[in-house]
Structure 1
Amino acid sequence: MNVDLSPQTAEVARVAAGVRDDQLTGPTPCPDMSVAALLEHLVGLAFAFKMAAEKTPVDGPPQVDAAHLPADWRTRLPEHLDALAAAWKDPAAWEGMTAAGGVDLPGPVAAVVALNEVTVHGWDLAVATGQQYRPDQAAVEACLEMVGDRSDPSQDPEGLFGPVVPVPDDAPRFDRLLGQTGRDPGWTPSG
């Protein structure tokens, strides 16, 4: 299933544009990750998964270090997000194998992993900075399918997500995705 990453990358670019300098040291739903570290991670993963789409992967996983946030992140991140979405519009990106973060993946899997990273970390950034977040429903469905039901810890790939956060059975689909990826949909910066 080829999914358009553009609606979600545009939403994350919109959220990033609303981040104030005084919020960079603030907490995020990701343990031990500041807003600046999350932005640096988004810059790196957008670039890495664009390169994966082009079948020219970069070595190793994207960094997660606030000290490495590029000074030009306000322009670089939206550019990388646009390039990421554009790269996955090429049908060749979805064919064969590629690699991202030092892991070999089939093209379609890499695309949905990229989409999940952007979708979920976009929410992390929005709630950490007090902004509204509008996830693309097609992205949410594709991510839920990829993440699956993680209620059985023996079936869970180590290190990809935090522990499942239970959400009500009738919770919105996006809240279910957040819970499956280890996030509390009610998280706020104040705890």
Structure 2
Amino acid sequence: MFDLTPVTDELARVVRQVREEDLGAPTPCQEWSVADLLTHIHQFAAVFTANARKEPGHPPADLAAHWREEIPAQLAAMASAWREPAAWEGRVEAGGIEMPAADNALVALEETTVHGWDLARATGQSFAVAPEALDRLPGFFAFFGDAPFGPAVPVPADAPPFDRVLGQTGRDPAWA
């Protein structure tokens, strides 16, 4: 078990500071605007919350009208749900892939951390990654492979650990 709260709190902080004029801006996620990315964040937070609770998920289809309140609340619910020992037991499905619940928590960590960086970068904000999250992210790549989202972006061997993670996800850590 590990606690998702540090990364969900950091992403919630970033979400609350997104400006209306940022919604149409591009993101490091090719083909997604900031509004698309916010919708995806809300969706995955709902799915991972439902998975932790072993309930059917009902992710929102569009960006919620009150997204600055709803997305942070959903992220907090996700972190809370994964603090329950039962969340880590059994098997769940995410993105059409069935997996052990503990691996699903690792996917939740990766999605929250990497898309947190995406959103922060696209909106000119910082994104602090807790050391315990960085320590766990290599487990995601052990489960899903070295470049689960397409070709990796080469980064120097002496790059900071999070830059190496971003490169493995196909992101350029210098994206602006």
Q: Do the structures match in fold with TM over 0.5?
A: yes
Q: Which aligned segments of 4 or more residues in structure 1 are displaced greater than 6 angstroms? A: none
Query: How far off is 1:17 after superposition?
Result: 0.9
TM-aligned CA distance change 1:35 to 1:78, over 3 Å:
same
* Post-superposition offset of 1:149: 9.9
Aligned Cα RMSD in Å?
1.9
Q: How many residues align?
A: 176
Answering whether residue 19 of structure 2 is matched by residue 25 of structure 1, we say: no
| Distance of aligned partners of 1:118 and 1:15 in 2 relative to their CA distance in 1, 3 Å threshold | same
Whether 1:175 aligns to 2:169 is no
Percent identical across equivalent pairs? 50
Residue from 147, 159, 171 that aligns with 2:141:
147
Separation (CA, whole Å) in 2 of partners of 1:27 and 1:93: 35
Equivalent in the alignment of 1:116: 110
Relative to structure 1, the CA distance from residue 138 to residue 48 in structure 2 (aligned partners, 3 Å threshold; closer, same or farther) is: same
Choose the corresponding residue for 2:100, options 102, 106, 121.
106
Following superposition, the deviation at residue 161 of structure 1 comes to: 1.0
8 Å contact kept, 1:25–1:34: yes
Mapped pair 1:87 → 2:81? yes
Matched-pair contact (CA < 8 Å) for 2:89–2:101: yes
Q: Deviations over 1:51-108 (max 9, x none)?
A: 000111437xx68x7xx21111111100000000000000110011112233211010
Q: Secondary structure at the match of 2:172?
A: coil
Corresponding residue of 2:72: 78
Q: Distance in 2 between matches of 1:145 and 1:156?
A: 10
Quote how far apart the aligned CAs of 1:125 are.
Answer: 0.1
Q: Is the 8 A contact 1:57 1:99 kept in 2?
A: no
Unaligned runs of 5+ in 1: none
Code of the aligned partner of 2:55: T
Deviation of 1:141 (Å): 1.8
Query: Is the 2:54–2:92 Cα contact (8 Å) retained in structure 1?
Result: yes
